[in-house]
Amino acid sequence: MNHETIRTLGQLRASGYQPRSVKTELRDNLIKKLQSGEDVFPGIFGYEETVIPELQRAILAGHHINLLGLRGQAKTRIARLLIGLLDEYVPMVEGSELNDDPLQPLSVFAKNLIAEKGNDTPVSWLPRADRYTEKLATPDVSVADLIGDADPIKAATLKLPYSDERVIHFGLIPRAHRGIFVINELPDLQARIQVSLFNILQEGDIQIRGFKVRLPLDLQFVFTANPEDYTNRGSIVTPLKDRIDAQIITHYPKSIEIGKRITQQEARIKEAQRGMVTTNDIIADLVEQVAIEARGSEFVDAKSGVSARLTISAFEQVVAGAERRALVNGEKTTYVRVSDFITAVPAVTGKVELVYEGEQEGAGIVAEKLMGKAIRTLFLNYFPDPDKAKKLKGRPSPYKTVQEWFGAGHTVDLLHDLSTKDYRTALDQVPGLRDIVTELHPNEDAEATYFLMEFLLHGLSEYSLISRNRLTAGAQFKDLLSSMFTMPSFGEGDEDDDEDEDEKPQRGRRR
């Protein structure tokens, strides 16, 4: 239908236009996309066999939908993608605040205009983007915001009595007529406000300040909710939950590969950064593994979940860390390092909700532990298990040369801002380090080889074959035994250590 030529009600009738409900529209357009093999929800990964089929079934059934899941599970993104299932344009009575269909007028304004002008009633066309309304539920949302209220200013201006329906100021929901209405974080809506949605969902009528306004609104409702909210702040009242036809449970990525696809799609890496920083799969895997470790950590509140935003922010910070290092050293290009991964601690600390024990440890320490666990887990994909290497009979551990060198009192400082030359020099001084990497990964180029050498040091420290101590601006690797007699594993070189002086002697005290 040509929306550019049809401008009056008479032309619309002559074109053969037939009104369709929003749910029928979504259903018909979904059927076309499924039959043509088109991707209905582009950019959503990991839900191909779970959430998306359930969502499609709900749309085909004409159901209102509640997306239930922890934070960072793409609930709002899915809701916004439903816009793509609407028609590109639909006709409406020009000037109507309720998007009235010219053949099925709803408001007093539209009905009066059609009665007055008949086939000459002006028609305008509503684009699909304007048919999507989203409201974040907060405790201060009122019935007037969502449904509407009597407007005394309108009554005075138009010289109308309060009994006249035209004094009503409609809220967001009536204004979303013939569209998709999304309420995010539904449990945060006060119970009395949730109650005001009952009739709209079931019978289609609303009541405003004593006005019995019969408005058969045509809406597709989509709600999102976090199960944590049910206990912390509020809950979905049972009769409302009963009226939401489909509750679809979302989840976190089930594999590192899916997580990586999401992170790479969502991370905002600038063109200048892409030209300067070369990343690799190990760094991408480490970033995803941190989220996996956090979701299973005893320090992190499992009920809150660990958002996909953690991995996105962490990857952006890893790249930014490498970029900064190159800028400081006047280098045009650089290769990512494990130390860049370690500098992404700020991306982790704000994205995990700690339980009491985690709060006692401190967010920074918990973040470092999670990163250490990620290194430990992925280390086994690239190098022999140090725990098993210790027990080999008749064959020395492949890490023996490296351990003995550190055992002789040598140390290696890997500062975050080392130039490429100094970084390589620091790694090259450890005998046996390169031999292990080249034997297991002979086809890697020089940059990847040095990355693996650094990864090897971090991995050996996680398996307690050597010690890694945090410096203010990096890490120091040394013999495990000597570090046990000299300092705790975190803190050497921390100039900003603000521990109370009177607490320090207690460390050595027997209990």
Q: What's the pLDDT tens digit per position in 306-315? A: 888 899 999 9
Which parts of the chain sit beneath pLDDT 50?
232, 487-511
Same domain, 289 and 329: yes
Query: For the domain that residue 99 is a member of, what is the CATH number?
Result: 3.40.50
Helices (H), ranges, 147-188: 152-157, 172-175
Residue with tokens 């002789």: 408
Answer whether 369's CB lies under 8 Å from 358's CB. Answer: no
| 384-400: pLDDT as tens digits | 998 887 666 667 788 99
Q: Which of 335, 359, 381 is the last residue of a domain?
A: 381
Whether 424 is covered by a domain: the verdict is yes
Answer whether 102's CB lies under 8 Å from 114's CB. Answer: yes
Strand partners of residue 227 = none
Whether 86 is covered by a domain: the verdict is yes
Q: 90, exposed or middle or buried, with CB in 10 Å at 0-12, 13-18, 19+?
A: buried
pLDDT at 215 (0 to 100): 76
Distance CA 89, CA 98 (A): 16
Q: 98, exposed or middle or buried, with CB in 10 Å at 0-12, 13-18, 19+?
A: buried
Kindly tell me the sign of the dihedral angle through the C-alpha atoms of 33, 34, 38, 43. positive
Same domain, 265 and 240: no
Whether 416 is covered by a domain: the verdict is yes
pLDDT at 75 (0 to 100): 93
Helices (H), ranges, 343-396: 345-349, 356-361, 363-379, 386-390
Q: Which of 332, 359, 381 is the last residue of a domain?
A: 381
pLDDT at 493 (0 to 100): 40
Whether 157 is covered by a domain: the verdict is no
pLDDT at 155 (0 to 100): 61
Whether 4 is covered by a domain: the verdict is no
φ, ψ (nearest 5 deg) of residue 489 = -70, -25
Q: How many domains does the chain have?
A: 3
Same domain, 98 and 221: yes
Query: For the domain that residue 357 is a member of, what is the CATH number?
Result: 1.10.8
- Per the structure, the complete domain to which residue 430 belongs is given by 384-496
pLDDT at 501 (0 to 100): 39
pLDDT at 492 (0 to 100): 39
Answer whether 201's CB lies under 8 Å from 239's CB. Answer: no
Residue with tokens 């660990």: 306
Same domain, 56 and 89: yes
Answer whether 232's CB lies under 8 Å from 190's CB. Answer: no
Same domain, 355 and 234: no
Same domain, 227 and 95: yes
Same domain, 60 and 122: yes
Q: Which of 224, 249, 274 is the last residue of a domain?
A: 249
Whole-model pTM? 0.79
Same domain, 419 and 286: no
φ, ψ (nearest 5 deg) of residue 467 = -115, 140
Same domain, 262 and 365: yes
Same domain, 223 and 242: yes
